[in-house]
């Protein structure tokens, strides 16, 4: 077992394009879940329409890349409006199920045979981001120190990706401190209170859904550009669960939560992955107990376990303020009647927090 190799793998993933992509999509989710209390479980659907907006425009219709980006963003806005109209008036759990269902419907539809002429069906679309790489100003070669090296191609994606993350984080920072952001947070804390102050809660939720969805679509586009390929099965619901895990790990409702969460999440994921593979390779773990093909499954299991433990013991994550993100009964449109029944429990917790 070579600890340097493991650390190198983990470090490369922590700063690499993948982490930037997930950070960007998680910032969108942070607007939904962290600041507005919308339990959007279909963020992967926004990523899908963003990615396919680019891929279809360029690969199927031969349009330029910038037009693809615009199409992807427009698709995300339309999706948010379509999803929002029926579900934003309902309780948070309805939104959750409707969004995950919508994400699955999108995936199945893009996957379907009749859509093949446009979406490429199960095989997806490839090689549509040539013009992105053509503008790469970084000269060919490999950059980095020690085992932490990236090709000029990766580096270009990383520059754009982390640049977008930085811009989105800054934008979020400013927005949340604006009056608009204060209303958003008040919707999260108590929707009825916000409504009684004359705020159009539905409108604010819709704006939040659109803004976060657009960021999700940007993440999807970056994913498509990074791999130069899209296929519907990349966009399965597990991606959204990853996003939730890293968002909660970093701290939901915190400006820097998604970026920090993404870096730590990918570091840990690849660390475990690489360490397990090395341990199997070196014979520390007998192949009968765990074969290399099981490592992928095991890491999903560990993500699930991490999600359970995080929410049970530190729902505020690393950066979070436990008092701000209570997300208890009463928040995010939980009906009044239910609040009563969980009152005893929540009082007890508040007593501990004080």
Partner 1 sequence: MRQRLVTLLLLLFAGMAVTSGAAALAQDGEVLQGTLEGPDGDPVPEVVITVEGDGQQVGTATSGPDGNWTVPLPAPGTYDVLLDAGTLPEGLRLRDEDDATLTDVTVRPGQQRTVLFPLESGSGEPEAGPGAAPAPPPGPTEPAGPSFGSRLAQLLVAGVKYGTIIAITSIGLSLVFGTTGLINFAHGELVTIGAMTAFFLNAAALGPGLALIPAAVVAIAVGALVGGALERGLWRPLRIRGTGRINLFIISIGLSLFLRHIILVFYGSRPQPYASYTIQQAIELGPIAITPRDLVITLVTLGVLLAVGLMLQRSRIGKAMRAVADDRDLAESSGVDVSRVILYVWLLGGGLAALGGVLFGLSEIVTWDMGFRLLLLMFAAVILGGLGSAFGAMAGGLLVGLVAQLSTLYFPIELQNAWALGVLILVLLVRPRGILGRAERVG
Q: Interaction with partner 1 in 235-274: which residues (CB under 8 A)?
A: 236-238, 241, 244-245, 248
Between 182 and 338, name the residue whose CB sits nearer to partner 1: 338
Between 200 and 342, name the residue whose CB sits nearer to partner 1: 342
Binds partner 1 by CB under 8 A, chosen from 74, 159, 272, 331: 331
Between 134 and 344, name the residue whose CB sits nearer to partner 1: 344
Selected range binding partner 1 among 12-20, 144-152, 230-238, 260-268, rule: CB under 8 A: 230-238
- Of residues 140-169, which lie at the interface with partner 1 (CB under 8 A)? none
Q: Are 206 and 16 in contact (CB under 8 A)?
A: no
Residue in 137, 163, 141, 144 with CA at minimum distance from that of residue 152: 141
Question: Residues 349, 350, 353, 354: is their CA dihedral positive or negative?
Answer: negative
| CA distances (Å), origin 90, targets 153, 192, 237, 328 | 45, 13, 22, 17
Binds partner 1 by CB under 8 A, chosen from 1, 78, 81, 105: 105
Between 77 and 306, name the residue whose CB sits nearer to partner 1: 306
Between 57 and 87, name the residue whose CB sits nearer to partner 1: 87
Residue 204 CA from chain centroid, whole number: 21
Q: Least distance to partner 1 from the beta carbon of 2, Å?
A: 23
* Joined tokens for residue 143: 């950059």
DSSP designation for 35: I
**Distance (Å, whole) CA 296 – CA 145:** 28
- Of residues 110-129, which lie at the interface with partner 1 (CB under 8 A)? 111-114, 116, 121-123
Binds partner 1 by CB under 8 A, chosen from 1, 85, 282, 287: 85
**Distance (Å, whole) CA 122 – CA 1:** 38
**Distance (Å, whole) CA 315 – CA 255:** 16
- Of residues 264-323, which lie at the interface with partner 1 (CB under 8 A)? 290, 293-294, 296-308, 310-312, 315
Binds partner 1 by CB under 8 A, chosen from 7, 31, 76, 100: 100
Selected range binding partner 1 among 50-58, 67-75, 93-101, 163-171, rule: CB under 8 A: 93-101
**Distance (Å, whole) CA 315 – CA 197:** 29
Between 131 and 349, name the residue whose CB sits nearer to partner 1: 349
**Distance (Å, whole) CA 277 – CA 61:** 43
Say how many residues touch partner 1, by CB under 8 A: 79
Helices (runs of H) and strands (runs of E) counted in the chain: 16, 4
72-77 — which CB contacts under 8 Å span 24+ positions? Answer: 72/217, 72/218, 72/220, 72/221, 73/214, 73/217, 73/218, 75/49, 75/50, 75/217, 76/46, 76/49, 76/50, 76/210, 76/213, 76/214, 76/216, 76/217, 77/210, 77/213, 77/214
- Of residues 185-224, which lie at the interface with partner 1 (CB under 8 A)? none
Q: Least distance to partner 1 from the beta carbon of 57, Å?
A: 24
Binds partner 1 by CB under 8 A, chosen from 67, 74, 101, 175: 101
Q: Going residue by residue from 27 to 56, which x/- string records binding to partner 1, judged by CB under 8 A?
A: ----------x-x-x---------------
Q: Least distance to partner 1 from the beta carbon of 334, Å?
A: 7
Binds partner 1 by CB under 8 A, chosen from 12, 32, 254, 326: 326
First-to-last C-alpha distance (Å) of the chain = 47
């Amino acid at each position: 077992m070579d600890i340097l190799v493991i650390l190198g793998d983990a470090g490369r993933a922590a700063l690499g394009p993948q982490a930037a992509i997930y950070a960007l999509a998680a910032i969108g989710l942070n607007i939904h879940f962290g600041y507005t209390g919308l339990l959007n479980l279909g963020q992967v659907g926004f990523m899908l329409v963003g990615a396919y907006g680019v891929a279809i425009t360029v690969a199927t219709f031969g349009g330029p890349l910038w037009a693809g980006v615009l199409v992807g963003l427009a698709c995300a806005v339309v999706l948010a409006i379509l999803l929002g109209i029926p579900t934003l008036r309902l309780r948070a759990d309805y939104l959750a199920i409707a969004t995950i269902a919508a994400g699955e419907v999108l995936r199945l539809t893009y996957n379907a045979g009749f859509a093949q002429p446009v979406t490429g069906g199960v095989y997806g679309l490839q090689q549509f981001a040539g013009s992105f790489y053509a503008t790469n100003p970084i000269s060919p070669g490999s950059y980095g120190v020690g085992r932490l090296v990236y090709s000029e191609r990766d580096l270009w994606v990383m520059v754009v990706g982390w640049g977008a993350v930085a811009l989105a984080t800054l934008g979020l920072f400013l927005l949340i401190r604006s009056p608009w952001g204060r209303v958003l947070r008040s919707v999260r804390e108590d929707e009825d209170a916000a409504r009684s102050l004359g705020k159009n809660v539905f409108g604010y939720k819709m704006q939040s859904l659109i803004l976060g969805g657009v960021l999700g679509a940007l993440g999807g586009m970056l994913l498509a550009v990074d791999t130069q390929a899209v296929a519907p099965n990349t966009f399965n619901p597990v991606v959204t669960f990853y996003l939730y895990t890293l968002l909660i790990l970093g701290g939901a409702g915190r400006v820097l939560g998604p970026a920090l969460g993404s870096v730590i999440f990918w570091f840990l994921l690849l660390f475990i992955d690489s360490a397990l593979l090395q341990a199997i390779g070196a014979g520390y773990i007998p192949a009968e107990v765990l074969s290399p093909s099981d490592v992928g499954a095991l890491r999903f299991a560990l993500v699930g376990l991490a999600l359970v433990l995080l929410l049970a013991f530190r729902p505020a994550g690393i950066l979070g303020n436990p008092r701000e993100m209570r997300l208890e009964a009463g928040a995010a449109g939980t009906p009044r009647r239910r609040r009563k029944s969980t009152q005893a429990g929540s009082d007890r917790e508040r007593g501990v927090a004080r």
